[in-house]
Structure 1
């Protein structure tokens, strides 16, 4: 167990049949709502035979694994030297690693450095965020790369 982990910020991968019934039914109710099969939380919990209080207790803490995989998005702030092709090389690296660039914001270069903020979907990437940052920092023309958001 990591002594630095804070409650509510740790995740566990658990087989469905090992979970308490209320957690499984919470996921089922959320699924009904997401698909539009029901219009209200009341309808969803009634259909899966779960109390509303249990639904509200667990709804923000349990997700299907596929949901977590889809939402693997990181926002990275970069300082790039103001030279032709640097941003293009950064984007090519991300694409080559199976990353999907969702947004790009670039500032006007000041003192030879342009600030760039990129949001990247990492679902298909076979690496963690720190490895991606190391790869970006190792590129010619990248003077800084830090994570500013993750979801």
Structure 2
């Protein structure tokens, strides 16, 4: 048996309405149709507390032949070569970088957000995150913004 991931796939009809509205509110924010969380939750008829309680735990499942999309967020040292090493690991895995954003370093540590597309034959998201986290100068790696199953 495989390792327990803590994820379930359920039909939309089995998902509580509040969770569907959280997904819809996230879509409104991502699309730019609304500018604030207040506007998004008001349009969906849910509370801000419900939005914040569930926003990181519910994602719409995308079944696509183009692979799996997800975002890695990293904390890493602001030192020559660390970002280059991270990007090399991503390239070697066969993943495609869709977006990348690095914050201005504070106290020698930068935050990096990389949105990726992993094709079926390339490494899994969890393997990729683990490989990056083992790299010198990388403190923390989290997988977020899943577009599909990442195992």
Report the equivalent of 2:74. Answer: 78
Q: Looking at CA atoms only, which structure, 1 or 2, has the larger radius of gyration?
A: 1
Quote the residue 1:143 is aligned against: 139
What TM-score do the two structures reach when normalised by structure 2? Answer: 0.56
Partner of 2:105: helix, strand, or coil? coil
Q: CA offsets per residue over residues 51-82 of structure 1, 9 Å max, x none?
A: xxxxxxxxx98x8xxx5231411100000101
What is the CA RMSD across the aligned residues, in angstroms? 2.6
Moved over 3 A (4+): 4-7
Name the CA distance, whole Å, in 2 between partners of 1:7 and 1:129. Answer: 18
* Unaligned segments of structure 1, at least 5 residues: 10-59
User: 2:97, 2:117 within 8 Å by CA — same for their partners in 1?
Assistant: yes
Structure 2: how far apart are the matches of 1:89 and 1:124?
Answer: 23
What is the TM-score normalised by the length of structure 1?
0.56
Corresponding residue for residue 106 of structure 1: 102
Is structure 2 residue 10 aligned with structure 1 residue 8?
yes
Separation of aligned partners in 2, 1:5 and 1:117:
23
Counterpart Cα distance in 2 of 1:105 and 1:135? 20
Higher relative contact order (CA 8 A, sep 6+): 2
Is contact 1:137–1:143 with CA below 8 Å preserved after alignment? yes
> C-alpha offsets along residues 116-135 of structure 1, whole Å, 9 cap, x if unaligned?
00001101553221111110
Paired residue total: 96
